[in-house]
Structure 1
Amino acid sequence: MPGLLGFIPWIAYAIIATGDEWRWGAITGLATALVLVVIDRIKGKNWDEMVIESSAVVFFAIITALSLADPDSPLTMYGPALVNLWLAGTAWGSLAIRRPFTLGIARSMTPSDVHHRPEFYRVNVVITAAWAVAFTFAALALTWVLSVAPHATAVVITVKVVTFVAPALFTGWYPKHLRAKYRIQP
């Protein structure tokens, strides 16, 4: 799924960042996000197709600066929750300004004659809301887990995986479901 490539910096951070080495995760996330944005711009992608990548640049620039300035920050252990809090803010913010972050990605993958249909916009509102809910749930669950059991690695990984895979699957399923339901040809 091409739209999921924008999550590579976030996934890289999740894999590399540990309680002791969040600096390397932040630096890797920032470098990866910058590379993705540059490659996407060279390919001619519009900014609305790169909301998650652009958001990653800002987040990882802040986290990199923080992790270098204060490597032992108490925020270190909450890195996974902070990622999801930021992503939730990005998703909810895109809905608040009436530009769901999935809209630009969907436009790049669909015929232009459907882009101005209200149904097209509504599908993207629903999909973006699904991601926003998943990110919000993950942020809350990870904050709680990391507060009561900071070394519960298996639980943290499970929350991360489930709250990423569920909206990703929904993103693939929902438009197909609507096309089948209303007998619309792709």
Structure 2
Amino acid sequence: MTRKLIFGMNLTLDGYIAATGADIGWSGPPSEELFRWWLDQELANSMSLYGRKLWEAMSSYWPAGGQQPGATSAEVEFARNWRDTPKVVFSSTIGKVGWNTRVFAGDAVAEIARLKAADGGPLGIGGATLAGAAMRAGLIDEYAVVTHPVLVGGGTPFFSALESWVDLTLVETRTFPGGVVLTRYETRR
């Protein structure tokens, strides 16, 4: 039995995880309910797989994110879990990392396949380029699409261009404050 690989991110209604210029300001701070949902997803993952850009964004905030003035108990827990969860950053340009993280500069698809084949709990994957490579290789088992009610017109797409169709089964829908909608799909195999 292989581990489940889950790709989940916030995105705009027109399908972008970042607007042109890597702008993610469109999402604003999440509602408490949405943040708690993301926390639960992170707590369920046994390992997180990051592309370089997402790693840089996460590692610039979460090592001390729970120590910010006014941090909620969920933010404190998220920061602790983020530091403690094993992570792999797929990059040929990042050197030193911390917080239970290692860098992998080789064939990302082969390494993700190897990690999926190992014993353990679910793997979370994030970052458009890295997840796109895993998507094209047929390695993604679940998509958690958290859609925000905004159109940005361009930027970094959530979904990668594919060579063939991928059939999905809807497993959950949920609405959060502010009109944010979660749709979770599993890949039909």
Same fold? TM cut 0.5: no
State the TM-score, normalized to the length of structure 2. 0.28
Larger strand share, 1 or 2: 2
State the TM-score, normalized to the length of structure 1. 0.28
Q: Tell which structure's C-alpha radius of gyration is larger.
A: 1
User: RCO (CA 8 Å, sep 6+): is it higher in 1 or 2?
Assistant: 2
Larger helix share, 1 or 2: 1
